[in-house]
Amino acid sequence: MSLTAILTAAVLVASGATAAPAAVAATDREVQFGSDGVTAYGTLHVPAHRAGARVPAALLIPGSGPTDRDGNEPPTVAPATLKLLAGALDRDGVATLRFDKYGTGRTGLGGIDPATLDLATFTRQATAAFTTLQAQPEVRAHDVSIVGHSEGGLQAMLVARQVRVASLVLLAPQDLRLLDLLKMQLDAQVTAPDQAALARVITDFRAGRPLDYTGMSTQLTTFLQQAIFSPGNVKFVRSDDAVYPPSVARPGTRVLLTCGTSDTQVPCRTTPPLAVALRTLPRPLPVDHFQHAPGTPVNDQVLAPSVVTALRTFLEHR
C-alpha cells in the first residue's frame, strides 16, 4: 500500500467516517388498539428505510358498509382499494395503517350490539387508530396524514377535528347528507313513482314519523327495509344523515380533494360546496368510485395511474 493510501485510511478512521446506515426492508405487521372497550385489528405497513430513521405516515379509512382494512366487502366486492393505496404510498416512503372497522374482518363487532353503533362510534375508533399510528417507533409523530375514501373521507374530516393531522387526502369523499346521497344514487335507477315515494320516506324518517312505503315498488321497499332502515341500522343512518359534510370541514389543513369523472356514487357535480368549505380546488380524475380507470371490472385490483400520480404530486409538495 502506498504512503498516500495509508494516510488516507488513517484520516478516515480518525474522522469517525462510517458506512451508510443499514437499510431496513419494507414490512407488514399486525397491530391492535382499543376503542369503546373493543379491540380493533389492522395492518401497519412500514416502507424500506434507513435503520433508526422515522418516516411520514398515513391512516387509511375505508368507505361505507362492511368494508374491511383492505377496502373489500367479502365475498363479492374485492377491489382492495386501501391495500393498493398502501402500496402506492409505500413507493413514496410513507408508512400506513389500515384497520378492520366494527363489523368487519378480525375486529368484528367485539360484542357490540350493531343497533347501538352510530357515526361517532366509528369516529372514535378511527381516532384511536390515528393515535396508535403516531405511536409506532418508525413513524414521525408530527407527520401523520389521513387518507379517506368515500364515507372514509367524511370520517377523515371528523377525526381531523380531534387531532392534529399533517394533511388530508379525500378520495371521492361523502359530500352530501347520507340520505340525500342515497336518493341521488337511487333516483338514477328507479321509476318516477319510486322517486316520489323515496322522497316521502326520507322526509318521514327525518321527521321521526312511521315510514310509509305506499306506491313504492317491492324491490325498492325490500332494499330500504333491509339495508337502510332496518332496526340494526337506524341509529347509524340517523347520526350520519344529521351531518352535512361541508359543515365539518376545517380549512387550513393541506388537502387533496378528488372526484371521479366516471363515479356514479359520488359524482363530481356534488363536490363544489365541500371544496369551498375546505378552501381548495377539487381535482377531477378519470376514475370510478373504486379509483379504477373507467371500464375496469370492480374486482380488478389495480389503481388508476391518475390516482397514483395525484398522490405523488401532492406528497412531493408536503
Can you give the residue ranges of every domain in the chain? 23-176+243-316, 179-237
Per-residue pLDDT of the chain (318 residues; tens, 9 = 90+): 443 443 344 333 344 445 556 899 999 999 999 999 999 999 999 999 999 999 999 999 999 999 999 999 999 999 999 999 999 999 999 999 999 999 999 999 999 999 999 999 999 999 999 999 999 999 999 999 999 999 999 999 999 999 999 999 999 999 999 999 999 999 999 999 999 999 999 999 999 999 999 999 999 999 999 999 999 999 999 999 999 999 999 998 999 999 999 999 999 999 999 999 999 999 999 999 999 999 999 999 999 999 999 999 998 766
Half-sphere CA count of 264, side-chain side, radius 13 A: 7
Q: What's the confidence (pLDDT) of residue 62?
A: 97
Environment class of 268 (CB within 10 Å of its CB; exposed 0-12, middle 13-18, buried 19+):
middle
DSSP 180-199: HHHHHHHHTTS-HHHHHHHH
Q: Specify the CATH number for 23-176+243-316; select among 3.40.50.1820, 3.40.50.1100, 1.10.3720.10, 1.20.210.10.
A: 3.40.50.1820
Model confidence, pTM: 0.91
Half-sphere CA count of 163, side-chain side, radius 13 A: 26
**Which residues, at least 6 apart from 8, have a Cβ–Cβ distance to it below 8 Å?**
none
Give rounded-to-5 percent helix, strand, coil for the chain.
40, 20, 40
3-class SS at 47?
A: coil
* CA–CA dist 261, 293 (Å, integer): 10
